[in-house]
A and B are shown apart, each in its own frame.
Chain A
């Protein structure tokens, strides 16, 4: 199953996600948290600054941002932008110099660091599996720290290894026996072992080759649909950030937050020159990959019922400036007929009397614009019919696509 991220329906999508997060997402004192990101952040940074000793500039400067339950947030920026430092301040591998960080509603220092970390899954670039432990015992590390019994740990390991798409036969092997991609999956399984509400990922896929990386990214999105964690992922790869992130925080050198928004909004209205240049050229093309057919205005198009008269159909085609007319049967799209064939008919003939051709370019509201555009440029009609199952919703044209990018 491929996860469809609904940027267009934030509220509904949010309800689903928070629901999936279920009991892990909330702290015990607020079991029924409102499913609204802004109101109740899982991670909240306020004026966070970090200066490493022996340096004269801040690695992170006065950073304030919230991360809501069940969302994937990507930190992206050039090296030296403090993205990893920020990530590590969340689980206090690095202590901030100034400002405050609240995690799961607990203020900084409310519980010992090691206990806080057991509630936060962590995936690092170098994976960092323990080479002296079998895969099964690697996955069971945090449950073991939490004092689960052996049997429960074993069951959990087996469950997780399947969840990350590996076979149970690897459980008894040692990490060096696995490929890089497999180790990466085990790293994710290990991070999820105790079902932490938060997952932090530090450049999780930069050590694997591009093909494997793409699959792992897809798998993460699939996984997220099942587990509904709050995920913070650090990456230097803007493509990865845009693909994974529900929201993306673009950081500049010195940990200055340039913009924090959905990928769609970033592409549509970059807040600064830096953001625009970081997003790179082909911003329009990239938007095509993120926007859906449902995001653009559909036009009714030249349509006629099969029983309508051929003469009237010709008028409709003329009005739309087309050489064809789409044929509906009630709400259902049957195909299209050409104006040439309509002209050949008798004066009192109906549209149904003309030879029907099938519509090749059909899309749904969930089809990415990029895909729709491809169909449009390859179709003779220069437009794609938008269907909901067989029900006809309208047409999407090149002009409509271009309009959607504004």
Chain B
């Protein structure tokens, strides 16, 4: 019955994207975009913060690295839809259910990259920092983290692309975003919102990825210089 109404309402079903529908729903598309960006940003920020803490723990106490990445890997391998399903009885439908799932997917990516980045800091630079009287925290902040930055940004790019894709699925727990457009289209067997939701998600992911790459270039001018020898 619904699909009949849809057919009646949107005659140009033969087209993949109805520009008329798009024009009429610009407000909704914008709302979905904001929701999508919000879900992504919150997941990345919390995921990064949590992972940074875990990474520092792993760097300081090397024995914890195995268990931390093991847990990260387990979380990473749980199919997202299933994870939402597991969480709903505890946290219900909503924003934080989505975030818990999204954050858990970022942990492995972030931790691996942050630890690899800090491990990759030249030994001599660390020794020099110690010898010149850096405190541990100062050494971390002004030597290790800056030098780990390219690797950390690389991880952030992977994490953000992953999260932007996963946020579309977060719509199943009632969170809007481009996933809501896609679900709407699928429910109504109407291609326009599906294509728009998927397309915009891809554009957002590519855009964020490119901006992070540019940001890294700007933040690490030293990484562009090549040796004189």
The chain A residues found within 8 Å of chain B, CB to CB, are 91, 93, 113-118, 120, 122, 124, 126-134, 141-142, 145, 173-174, 176-180, 190, 200
Does B5 sit within 8 A of A, measured CB to CB?
no
Known: A129-B125, A130-B143, A132-B146. A145 touches B134 (CB 8 A): yes
* Closest B residue to A146 using CB positions: B133
Complex A-B: 18 CB contacts under 8 Å:
A93-B127, A93-B130, A114-B133, A115-B133, A117-B133, A122-B131, A126-B124, A128-B124, A129-B125, A129-B128, A130-B147, A133-B222, A141-B132, A142-B133, A145-B132, A145-B138, A174-B225, A200-B131
Q: In the complex, A116→B135 CA distance in Å?
A: 12
Sample of 9 further A-B pairs with CB below 8 A, known A118-B132, A128-B124, A145-B133: A93-B130, A122-B128, A126-B122, A126-B127, A131-B222, A132-B147, A133-B222, A142-B132, A173-B225
A177: B residues at CB distance < 8 A? 225-228
A117: B residues at CB distance < 8 A? 130-133
Least distance between A166 CB and chain B CB atoms (Å): 13
B143: A residues at CB distance < 8 A? 130
A124 near B228 with CB under 8 A, answer no
B133 near A124 with CB under 8 A, answer no
Does B123 sit within 8 A of A, measured CB to CB?
yes
The chain B residues found within 8 Å of chain A, CB to CB, are 122-135, 138, 143, 146-147, 149, 220-223, 225-229
B225 near A91 with CB under 8 A, answer no
* Closest A residue to B139 using CB positions: A114
A118 near B147 with CB under 8 A, answer no
A145: B residues at CB distance < 8 A? 132-134, 138
Count, A-B residue pairs, CB within 8 A: 81
B146 near A178 with CB under 8 A, answer no
Least distance between A46 CB and chain B CB atoms (Å): 23
A173: B residues at CB distance < 8 A? 225
Least distance between A89 CB and chain B CB atoms (Å): 12
B128 near A128 with CB under 8 A, answer yes
Q: In the complex, A141→B138 CA distance in Å?
A: 12
Known: A114-B134, A132-B146, A145-B133. A124 touches B128 (CB 8 A): yes
Q: In the complex, A215→B132 CA distance in Å?
A: 26
Q: In the complex, A130→B138 CA distance in Å?
A: 14
B125 near A131 with CB under 8 A, answer yes
Residue in A124, A134, A190 with the greatest tally of chain B CB atoms within 10 Å: A124
Q: In the complex, A91→B128 CA distance in Å?
A: 12
Least distance between B71 CB and chain A CB atoms (Å): 31
Q: In the complex, A314→B119 CA distance in Å?
A: 83
* Closest B residue to A88 using CB positions: B131
B229: A residues at CB distance < 8 A? 179-180
B132: A residues at CB distance < 8 A? 117-118, 122, 141-142, 145, 190
B134: A residues at CB distance < 8 A? 114, 145
B125 near A130 with CB under 8 A, answer yes
* Closest B residue to A182 using CB positions: B228
* Closest A residue to B227 using CB positions: A176
B226 near A176 with CB under 8 A, answer yes
Least distance between B4 CB and chain A CB atoms (Å): 64
A130 near B128 with CB under 8 A, answer yes
* Closest B residue to A117 using CB positions: B133
Least distance between B48 CB and chain A CB atoms (Å): 20
